[in-house]
Amino acid sequence: MKATELAIAGAWLFEPSVFPDARGSFTAPFQGPAFREALGFDLAIVQTNQSVSSRGVIRGVHYADVPPSQAKYLYVAAGAVRDVIVDIRVGSPTFGRHEAVELDGESMRAVYISEGLGHAFQALTDDTVVGYLCSASYNPSGEHGISPVDPDLALPWADGIEPVLSEKDRDAPTLEQARAAGALPTWEACQEWYARLCS
């Protein structure tokens, strides 16, 4: 498995080998030893989630309070998404920047999103199935969102596909509104948390 850190610190792309044959294919989208070699610690999987989305659906931009937040290892079991990771850590050298990665059920590429980063994706096909390995349980009081259509972020959603948003995501604040309200994680708090994971 190939592991590559993206331009935003704490965001990683994992590319497993896929073994096709006449019956279909086989792959291991998450491999603990490869994860540990890349990041220096084991991913504690506390909860697994799965979503099914119609073409055009955007989920996010979501994040959680740090600590403990919720890191996610995400892959597409069927269909395809444009996955977007946003650096919302106040004080980060890449604050406000984003990375976009195409994930699909054929390549089985996966992304790891560290605690404190914002995350969203748009389904590019109907019946897109996304699996999430999460480092913490869902905590409604600690979950937050940023508008996925914030004009200042200008996230690269697919051309020619009508965005479909939940009411919650549609009404989420812009990045600047969340920063002004003191609702964003800080780079310092995230660095302290990452150091704990590696200790």
CA dist 60 and 165 (Å) reads 9
β 18-21/80-86 pair status? unpaired
What single-letter amino acid sits at 52?
A: V
| Rg of the chain, C-alpha, whole Å | 16
Q: In which element (H, E) is residue 11 found?
A: strand 11-15
| DSSP designation for 13 | E
Going by C-alpha positions, the residue among 116, 92, 96, 123 that lies closest to residue 183 is: 116
- What letter would DSSP give residue 121? E
Is 112 labeled as catalytic in the residue annotation?
A: no
Q: Say which of 62, 98, 119, 144 is annotated catalytic.
A: 62
- 62 tagged catalytic: yes
Element (H, E) at 27: strand 24-27
Q: Which helix (H) or strand (E) holds 38?
A: helix 32-39
Locate 15 and state its tokens: 């590319």
What letter would DSSP give residue 167? Answer: H
Work out the number of other CB atoms within 10 angstroms of the CB of residue 71: 26
Active-site position among 119, 132, 138, 144 = 132
**Would you name the residues annotated as active-site residues?**
62, 132
